[in-house]
Chains A and B, each alone.
Chain A
Amino acid sequence: MSNIPETGRTPRVQVRLVVIQILVVSLLATLGGRLWYLQIREGDTYAKEASGNHVQQVVQPAVRGSILDARGVPIADNETRLVVSASRTDLMKMKDDGEAVLTKLAGVLDMTPKEVMDKVRLCDSETPQPCWNGSPYQPIPITDEATPKQALQIRERSEDFPGITAEPQAMRRYPAPGDANTAQVLGYLSPVTDDEIQQAQDTDSPYLRSDQVGRSGLERQYDKELRGKAGVTRYEVDNLGRVIGEAENDPAEPGANLVTSIDARVQRIAEYELNEAMKEARKQHDRNTGTNYKADSGAIVVMEAKTGRVVAMASNPTYDPNAWVGGISAKDYTKLTGKDSNYPLLNRAIQGQSAPGSIFKVIPTAAAIQAGYSFDGPYECSSSYSIGGQVFKNFESQSHGGISLGRALEVSCDTVFYRLSHEEWKKDGGTKPKKNANDWFYKTAHQFGLGEETGIDLPNEVTGRVPDRQWKLDYWKANKDAWCKTGKKDGDYAEKIAYENCLEGNRLRAGDSVNYSIGQGDTLVTPIQMATIYAAISNGGTLYNPTVGKAVISADGKKVQEIEPEAHGRLPMTKKTRDQIDQALEGVATRGTAAWRFQGWPQDEIPMHAKTGTAEVYGKQTTSWFATYTEDYSIVMTISQGGTGSGASAPAVRKLYNALYGVSEDGKIDKKKALLYTPQKGLPEIESDGSIDAPKVDKYPGPKDKESASPSPQPVVFGDPVPAGPAPGDLAATVNTPSGGNRDARRRAARPGGPKRRRGARRRRSTA
C-alpha cells in the first residue's frame, strides 16, 4: 500500500503505530526462533526425554541358573519361598519411620521388633550386620521363611501393613546333595550395591536394583552366565501411570546352568574325610609342642589328571552357604568372618598357602636333571650336611649311603637335595650371584607353575611364593626397617633372626638354598598348585589350568558351551625323567614313606603314586601334606598343624581312592561300587523345560558303615535315604589310628631337642 491516505492524524500517532507493528513482529519472530531452537536444534534431546517420560519399565527378574555336579545333581538351585519384605521408601514416609508397622510385623513373624528393625536399616561403616547392603529403593527382605499363615495375615490386612509385602520368590538354595555342601567352591550371593549398579550401568549386563550378585566362588566367577537377563516390558503410560500400550517386550532369559566337574559323591567323601582326619589329628599328641595337634584347617583337591578338572575340592573349616540366602544374620556373619571360627569363608584349596615340605621334592629332582646331574647318581644320603659349622640333618639323622634321585624321593632323603641345591648355589656365585646365574632350583619351581596362580576358574586364588633372589630382595626392602629396629644380636630367637635378616636378609644365603631344596623356609604353595603339578606328572607333563566349570548350558538345554581344559605350561622334564620320577613316586606308595597307607592296594591294576610331606612352620605345628596320583586322578591333601603327611592325611586320601575305584580294604576292585572308575565323560542332559534328570546322591558314610563302624568308607548305593549324618562322635572313635605304625611320629619323638632350641632352627626341616 504505497498510497496510504492522509488520515489527518499526527505524526506522533503514526510513528507509534509503526513502533507497535515492529514490536508485534519482533515478538512473533522471538516465538518462531524459540520454536526452531526447541524443535529443530534440541529436538533429539526432547524426543529422548519424551520417550523416557511415557515409557514405564516393568522388570521380571531372571531365574538364576543352577550349578550342577558332573552328573547333573544340583549343588545350587532355587526354591520358592514366601518372602516378607518392607519398602524403605514407604516406611520413611511415615511419621515414626515405620516403627509401629515394623513392631506389628514383628509380632506376626514371631520376631523381636529389634530384629526386624535391624534388618531394614542401611549398612554403613558404623552399622554392624544385620543391615541392608542393597539399594534403599528395593524392598528389603525381612524373612524368607514366612509360613503361608503369616503371609496371609499380612496380605489380608494390607491396610495395617503399609509398605509390607508377602510374596513367593525364587530364592537361592544350596541343597548339599548327600551332605556335600561344597561351600567355598560355590561361594554365595548378596544384594547388588548402588556403586555396582552405577558401574555396570553402561555395560552390556547392567544390574537391576533387586539383583543378587555372586560374591565368591563359582557364583562370582560365573555370575554373568548364571544371572541371565531380566525381562523388561516397556509399557507406554500416561501421566498417571495408566498403561496405554505395550511398547516393547524383552522376555526374561533365565540364567544358564553351570555344569561343574565336581562329583557330589566324591565331594562329600572329601569333606567328610577331611573333617574326620582333622578330628583324628586333634587326638594325636605332638611331642614338639607338648600338646595335641590343633589341626586348625585343611583342604583336599581331587583332580582329573588328564584334564585338570576338579572332581572335589574340600576346605575346612566350612560353613553352610544357605546362611547367606535372604540376607545374613548378625550372628552368622560374625561367625563366618571372625577369627574364632578361623575364617571358614576361605577356600583353603586355592587360598591357603604353606610350605610344602617333602611333596616339593619332585621340583628339586627335576631341577637337578636340568642342571645337568644324572638321575642315577649315586648321591650321598648322609645323616647330615654341614655348611660352615651349620649342621642340616637328615630326618632321624638316618643315612642311606649312595642312592639315586629316585631313591632319594622314595625315602625322602633331605641331604641329597641339600647338597645339590647348595652346590648349585655356590656355582651361581653364592651370596654374590653371577650376572647370569642359572638358579636352576628356582627357575624350575617357576616352570612348575609355583609363585603364580594356576588359573583355576575361581576368584581370588593366591599365588604362593618361590623364595628366589628377587623375592628375598623385595621382601628385605619391605621389612628391613622393622627388622633392624627389633633385631638384637644376643636377644631371643625372634630377635636374633631379625638381627640377621636386617644385616643380610637381602641375600640368598646358603642356608636358604638348603632349606628351599626340601620345600621349607619361605616357600609357599597352595593345594591346587600341588594337585596341578602332580596331575602333570601323571599326564606326561602338561600343566592344566584347573577348572571347576565344565559347561554352561542354557536353561532350555539347547545351547551348550563347553569349557575346554587349557594348559598353561609343561613340566620342564624329558619323558625319561618323567618316567623315572613316576617310578620313584610309585615306590613311595609301595615301599617308601606312604607304603604303610597303601597296604593291600591293587597296585598292578591301579598304579598308585604318592609323596608325603611334613612342613615345619616357625611357631606352629607341622603341616601335613599328601600328594598322590593315579593314571586318571591326582589327589592332594593338607592339614595345617595336623602332623605328618602319611600320619594325618593319608587315610582320608586312601578312602577317596577306595571310593573312586571301588576298592575294598582287602584290595579287591568292585567296579560296580566304584564312583568314578574313569573320569566322568559327557554332560548331564537338561530338558527343554529346564528339568534335569539327576541321579540321587546317597549319604556318606551310609548307615551300614555306621553300624559296622568300618574305618573304610563304603560308597555303596543304598536304596533308602538316611535321615541325617552320623553322630560325629560315633565315627571318630572308630577311625583307625595306627599310632604305632606312624613312622613320622616316632622319628619326631626321637629327634633331640625342639627346633626352637637349636641354632639355625629357622631352617625348617622336612621329615617325610
Chain B
Amino acid sequence: MTGANSFSVSGYGPQRSGLARLLARDSLARRLDWPILLCALALSLIGTALIYSATRNRTELNQGDPYYFLTRHLLNTGIGITLMIGTIWLGHRTLRTAVPILYGISVFLVLMVLTPLGATINGAHAWIKLPGGFSLQPSEFVKVTIILGMAMLLAARVDAGDREHPDHRTVVQALGLAAVPIAITLLMPDLGSVMVMVVLVLGVLLASGASNRWIFGLIGTGVAGAIAVWQLKILDEYQINRFAAFANPELDPAGVGYNTNQARIAIGSGGLFGTGLGEGSQTTGQFVPEQQTDFVFTVAGEELGFVGGALIIVLLGIVLWRACRIARETTELYGTIVAAGIIAWFAFQSFENIGMTLGIMPVAGLPLPFVSYGGSSMFAVWVAVGLLQSIRVQRPLSA
C-alpha cells in the first residue's frame, strides 16, 4: 500500500533510532497516505511545467519574466503543502471546534466579493483584490468550510451514538448552512463554483447516511433549479453562450465556440506522445484562452499527448481512489463525510475542467486541482489533502 518495506517493522521496541521511529508502524510518517501526497505533488509539478510552457511567451501577462508563473505556481504549491502540514498537525478533530469561525470567515469573504472590493476576472465576478497585486477567490475556501460545517452538523448526533442517521432537522440545518454561500456565489455569478458546491453537498449528504428522499430531492431540486435558471435568465448572456458553444462549438468558431473549438484542436492535435513540452503550436500561438488556468489541460493534451493527459487523469484517479479508502476506513462519520465531500469536490471539478476542454462538458471557469495556476484554489486543495491525511492518521489503527 505505501510501498514501504513492511519487514522493517523488526525494530519494534523502546530503543528505536530516529529513523526507525519515523519508519515505525505507528509513526505519523508511516500512517500518512503517501500515494495521495505524492500524486498531488506530481500533479502540482506537472502543472508547473504546463504553466511555464503556456506563459513563457506571454509578455503581456508575465511582465517580461518567462519564469514568473512558474515560480509563483511553485510558491503556491509550497504554501499549499505548508497549509496541509498545518492541517495535519492541528487535526480535523481539532478543526471541528473551529468550524463555525472558519465558516463565518469564509462566508464573510464571499460576501466581500459583492462589495466594491470584488473584482471581475475573465467575466467571473468572483475575486477580491488585495493590495500588492494579489487576489483572492473566496469561493475556493467556502468549498472547504461547507464540507466541514455540514459534516459537523450531520455527524454530531451520529458520532455521539444518539442516532444511526442524521435526522431531517439536522439535514435541513446542514443544507441551510450550505445554501447561504451557494446563494451568494450564484449572485456573483460564479456558476462553476456553484455547480461544484451543489455536487459537493450531494456527496456530503450521501456519505452522511441521510434519507434517500433528501438525496433524490436534492437532485430534483438541482435539475429544477437549472431549468429555472435557464428559463428565468438568471444567468448572464455569456454563461448561456458558453453553454450553447459547448453543445455546438462549430456554430460560431470565431465567437462563442472559439474556446471549446481551439481547446479541442489543441488536444486533438497532440496525438499519442504530443508535440513535446514547449513545442505545441496551439499553445505557442496562444490560440487557447486561459491556458495557464482553466484550460491548462489543453497544454498537456497538445504537448504531452495522450500519454501526458492520461497520466494526469490517472494521478487524479489515484488521489480519489485513496480518498475513497480513507472515507470507507475511518471509524467516525465526521471523517467519512469530510472525505466524501472532498471526493465529490475533486472528482466533479476535475471532470468538469477536463471535460470542458474535451468538449463533453459546458465551459465553466473552474481550475483543475493542483495543476491550474491560482493561489486560492491551490491552498484549498492542499488543505483538503491535509484533511484527508488527518482523517487517515487519526483513525484508530485496526488490530
Q: Which of B281, B302, B344 has the most CB of A within 10 A?
A: B281
- Tell me the complex Cα distance, A7–B327, Å: 11
B152 within 8 A of A: no
* Given known A-B contacts A17-B207, A31-B358, A39-B301, A239 and B287 have beta carbons under 8 A apart: yes
Contact of A28 among B267, B268, B316 (CB under 8 A): B316
A14 touches B270 (CB 8 A): no
| Given known A-B contacts A14-B328, A23-B347, A43 and B313 have beta carbons under 8 A apart | no
- How many angstroms from the CA of A28 to the CA of B271 in the assembled complex? 19
Q: Could you list 18 further interchain pairs (A-B, Cβ under 8 angstroms) beyond the known A10-B165, A30-B360, A42-B268?
A: A1-B1, A4-B329, A5-B396, A5-B398, A7-B330, A20-B340, A24-B324, A25-B321, A31-B313, A34-B360, A35-B310, A39-B309, A43-B271, A47-B271, A50-B268, A53-B281, A53-B285, A54-B282
How far apart are the CA atoms of A45 and B209 in the complex, in Å? 48
B264 touches A25 (CB 8 A): no
Highest count of chain A CB atoms <10 Å: which of B208, B282, B325, B333: B282
**Interface assignment of A13: CB less than 8 Å from any CB of chain B:** yes
Contacts A28-B351, A31-B354 given; indicate if A38 touches B267 (C-beta within 8 A): yes
A286 at interface, CB cutoff 8 A? no
- Nearest CB of chain A from residue B136's CB, rounded to whole Å: 29
Chain A residues contacting B328 (CB-CB under 8 Å) are: 4, 7, 14, 17-18
Q: How far is the CB of A60 from chain B (nearest CB, A)?
A: 23
Given A7-B330, A46-B264, A238-B285 in contact, is the A25-B209 Cβ separation under 8 Å?
no
Main secondary structure of the interface of B (DSSP, over half): helix
B30 vs chain A, min Cβ distance (A)? 16
* CB atoms of A17 and B327 under 8 A apart: yes
Does B164 have its Cβ within 8 Å of any Cβ on chain A? Answer: yes
Residues of A within 8 A of B343 (CB): 20, 24
What separation, in Å, do the CA atoms of A238 and B396 have in the docked complex?
57
Q: Cβ of A50 and Cβ of B282 under 8 Å apart?
A: yes
Q: Are A25 and B281 in contact (CB under 8 A)?
A: no
Q: A8-B331, A17-B328, A21-B321 are in contact. Are A54 and B281 (CB under 8 A)?
A: yes
**In the bound complex, do residue B358 and residue A54 qualify as a contact, i.e. CB atoms below 8 Å apart?**
no
Q: Is A12 an interface residue (CB 8 A)?
A: yes
Using A1-B1, A45-B268, A236-B285 as known contacts, say yes or no to A9 and B336 having CB atoms under 8 A apart: yes
Answer whether residue B355 sits at the interface, using C-beta atoms and an 8 A cutoff. yes
| Interface status of B286 (Cβ within 8 A of chain A) | yes
Assembly CA distance A50 to B286 (angstroms): 12
Q: Can you identify 20 A-B contacts, CB atoms within 8 angstroms?
A: A7-B336, A13-B333, A17-B324, A17-B340, A24-B317, A24-B343, A24-B347, A25-B317, A31-B354, A32-B310, A38-B268, A38-B301, A38-B358, A39-B305, A46-B264, A49-B265, A51-B269, A53-B287, A238-B285, A240-B286
The interface residues of chain A, by DSSP majority, are classed as helix
Question: Is there a chain B Cβ closer than 8 Å to A95's Cβ?
Answer: no
Q: List residues of chain A with CB within 8 A of the CB of B189.
A: none
Please, which residues of chain A bring their CB within 8 A of the CB of B264?
38, 46
* Smallest CB separation, B340 vs chain A (Å): 6
A724 within 8 A of B: no
Inside 8 A of B340's CB, which chain A residues have their CB? 17, 20
Shortest Cβ distance from B305 into A: residue: A39
A112, chain B: closest CB distance, angstroms: 38
User: A369 contacts the other chain (Cβ, under 8 Å)?
Assistant: no
B265 partner, pick from A1, A35, A50, A237, beta carbons under 8 A: A50
Measured in the bound complex, the distance between the Cα atoms of B339 and A9 in whole Å is: 15
With A50-B265, A50-B269 as known contacts, state yes or no: A35 contacts B309, CB within 8 Å: yes
Please name all residues of chain A whose beta carbon is closer than 8 Å to the beta carbon of B179 when the two chains form the complex.
none
B307 CB, nearest partner CB in chain A, Å? 9
**Is A49 a contact of B269 with CB atoms below 8 Å?**
yes
A36:B268 contact, CB within 8 angstroms = no
A21 CA to B344 CA, complexed, in Å? 10
User: Looking across the interface, which residue of chain B has its beta carbon closest to that of A1?
Assistant: B325
Given contacts A16-B206, A24-B347, A36-B306, contact A49 B268 (CB under 8 A): yes
Task: Please determine whether B269 and A17 come into contact, CB atoms closer than 8 angstroms.
Answer: no
The 4 closest A-B pairs by CB, nearest first: A46-B268, A5-B398, A50-B269, A238-B285
Judge whether A200 is part of the interface by a CB distance below 8 angstroms.
no
B49 at the interface (CB under 8 A from A): no
Q: Which residues of B contact A7 (CB under 8 A)?
A: 328-332, 336
- The answer to whether B265 touches A53, judged by C-beta atoms less than 8 angstroms apart, is yes
Tell me which residues across on chain A come within 8 A of B269, comparing CB atoms. 43, 46-47, 49-51
How far apart sit A239 and B351, CA to CA, in the bound complex (Å)? Answer: 27
Which residues of B line the A interface, CB within 8 A? 1, 57, 164-165, 203, 206-209, 262, 264-272, 281-282, 284-287, 301-302, 305-306, 309-310, 313, 316-317, 320-321, 324-325, 327-333, 336, 340, 343-344, 347-348, 350-351, 354-355, 358-360, 396, 398-399
Q: Assess whether A19 is interfacial by the CB under 8 Å rule.
A: yes
The distance in angstroms between the C-alpha atoms of A43 and B333, with both chains bound, is 46
Contact of A10 with B271 in the complex, beta carbons under 8 Å = no
Asked if A54 and B285 sit within 8 Å, CB to CB, the answer is yes
Which of B165, B208, B267 has the most chain A CB atoms inside 10 A of its CB?
A: B267
List of B residues within 8 angstroms of A16 by Cβ: 206-207, 209
Nearest Cβ on chain B to A476's Cβ, whole angstroms = 60
Q: Say yes or no: A30-B265 contact (C-beta < 8 A), given A39-B306, A239-B287.
A: no
Q: Is A244 an interface residue (CB 8 A)?
A: yes
A45 vs B208: C-alpha distance in the bound complex, in angstroms?
47
Give the complex CA separation of A8 and B333 in angstroms. 9
| B281 adjacent to A51 (CB under 8 Å) | yes
Chain B nearest CB: distance from A430 CB in Å? Answer: 74
Nearest Cβ distance between residue A403 and chain B, in whole angstroms? 86
Assess A30 versus B336: contact at CB under 8 Å? Given A16-B209, A20-B343: no
Chain B residues contacting A4 (CB-CB under 8 Å) are 328-329
Q: Within the complex, which residue of B209, B309, B350, B399 is in contact with A13, where a contact is CB–CB below 8 Å?
A: B209
Question: Cα distance A30–B398 when bound, in Å?
Answer: 35
Q: When chains A and B are docked, how far (Å) is the Cα of A523 from the Cα of B311? A: 85
A166 CB to closest chain B CB, in angstroms? 30
A734 and B298 alpha carbons, distance in the complex (Å): 87
A676 to B311, CA, bound (A): 83
From residue A46, how far is it (CB to closest CB) to chain B in Å? 2
- Once the chains bind, are B329 and A5 in contact (CB under 8 Å)? yes
Q: Which of A36, A39, A51 has the most CB of B within 10 A?
A: A39
Supposing A10-B164, A27-B351, A39-B267 touch, asked if A19 and B286 sit within 8 A by C-beta, the answer is: no
Instruction: Establish whether residues B351 and A46, one from each chain, have CB atoms under 8 Å apart when the complex forms.
Output: no
Q: Are A9 and B333 in contact (CB under 8 A)?
A: yes
A35-B331 contact, Cβ under 8 Å, with A1-B325, A43-B270, A237-B285: no
Q: Separation in Å of the A48 CB from the closest CB of chain B?
A: 8
Is A3's CB within 8 Å of the partner chain B? yes
Q: Within 8 Å CB of A32, what residues of B?
A: 310, 313
- Nearest CB on B from A232, distance (A): 18
Whose C-beta in chain A lies nearest to the C-beta of B327? A17
Judge whether A28 and B317 touch: CB under 8 Å. yes
Contact string, A372-386, partner B, CB cutoff 8 A, digits 1/0? Answer: 000000000000000
Minimum distance in angstroms from A197 CB to a CB of chain B: 22
CB distance from A39 to the nearest CB of B (A): 4
Chain B's closest residue to A32 (CB) is: B313
Q: Which residues of B contact A39 (CB under 8 A)?
A: 267-268, 270-272, 301, 305-306, 309
Q: How far is the CA of A25 from the CA of B322 in the complex (A)?
A: 12
Whole-angstrom CA separation of A24 from B344 in the bound complex: 8
The residues of B that contact A13 with a CB separation of less than 8 Å are: 207-209, 333, 336
Residue A727 is within 8 A (CB to CB) of chain B in the complex: no
CB distance from A78 to the nearest CB of B (A): 37
Q: How far is the CA of A638 from the CA of B343 in the complex (A)?
A: 97
Nearest CB of A to B398, in Å: 4
Identify the closest chain A residue to B337 (Cβ): A13
Cα of A698 to Cα of B336 in the assembled complex, Å: 105
Distance in angstroms from A35 CB to nearest chain B CB is: 5
Provide the bound-state CA to CA distance between A23 and B396, in Å.
Answer: 28
Task: Find the A residue at minimum CB distance from B208.
Answer: A13
